[in-house]
């Protein structure tokens, strides 16, 4: 079974629209970490955010916001007022005990923002 599921393979929006990327995870541990990465066409994965399982407070960073809900095992990512530069593949990832070095990545969601 997939530990991290990103059900949306590809999303297309028009610039200035809001868009939410879904991430559902599976773990039996009480201590775990969730991450989001952005992969632009250049290929490098860029770290966006890390969340630990004990901190359910939502976070906002500029146009980006993250909604962590343990009750539904979800860690969704919203981009407000999307821009063409947001076009990329976005990955959600999980690390859990006992081996926190082993990251489980979702299959990614490709976001196309059209002008």
Partner 1 sequence: DGGITQSPKYLFRKEGQNVTLSCEQNLNHDAMYWYRQDPGQGLRLIYYSQIVNDFQKGDIAEGYSVSREKKESFPLTVTSAQKNPTAFYLCASSFGTDSGNTIYFGEGSWLTVV
Residues at the interface with partner 1 (CB under 8 A): 9, 31, 33, 35, 37, 42-47, 50, 52, 91, 95, 97, 100-103, 105-108
**Smallest gap from residue 53 Cβ to partner 1 (A):** 10
**Smallest gap from residue 47 Cβ to partner 1 (A):** 6
Output 15 or 33, the one with its CB closest to partner 1.
33
Residue that has been written with the tokens 């629209």 in this structure: 17
- Distances from the Cα of 17 to the Cαs of 23, 62, 100, in angstroms? 20, 15, 36
- Distances from the Cα of 101 to the Cαs of 64, 73, 96, in angstroms? 26, 21, 8
Output 13 or 48, the one with its CB closest to partner 1.
48
**Smallest gap from residue 44 Cβ to partner 1 (A):** 4
Output 14 or 100, the one with its CB closest to partner 1.
100
Listed residue (74, 73, 72, 110) closest to 91, CA to CA: 110
Bridge partners of residue 25, in order along the sequence = 4
Residue that has been written with the tokens 């969601």 in this structure: 109
Output 19 or 35, the one with its CB closest to partner 1.
35
**Smallest gap from residue 33 Cβ to partner 1 (A):** 5
DSSP 115: -
């Amino acid at each position: 079974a997939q530990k991290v599921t990103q059900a949306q393979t590809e999303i297309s929006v028009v610039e200035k629209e809001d868009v939410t990327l879904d991430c559902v995870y599976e773990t039996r541990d009480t201590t775990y970490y969730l991450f989001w990465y952005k992969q632009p066409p250049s290929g490098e994965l860029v770290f966006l955010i890390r969340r630990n399982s004990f901190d359910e407070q939502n976070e906002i960073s500029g146009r980006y916001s993250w909604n962590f809900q343990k009750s539904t095992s979800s860690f969704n990512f919203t981009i407000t007022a999307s821009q063409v530069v947001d076009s990329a593949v976005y990955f959600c990832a999980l690390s859990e005990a006992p081996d926190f070095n082993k990251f489980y990545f979702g299959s990614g969601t490709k976001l196309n923002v059209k002008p």
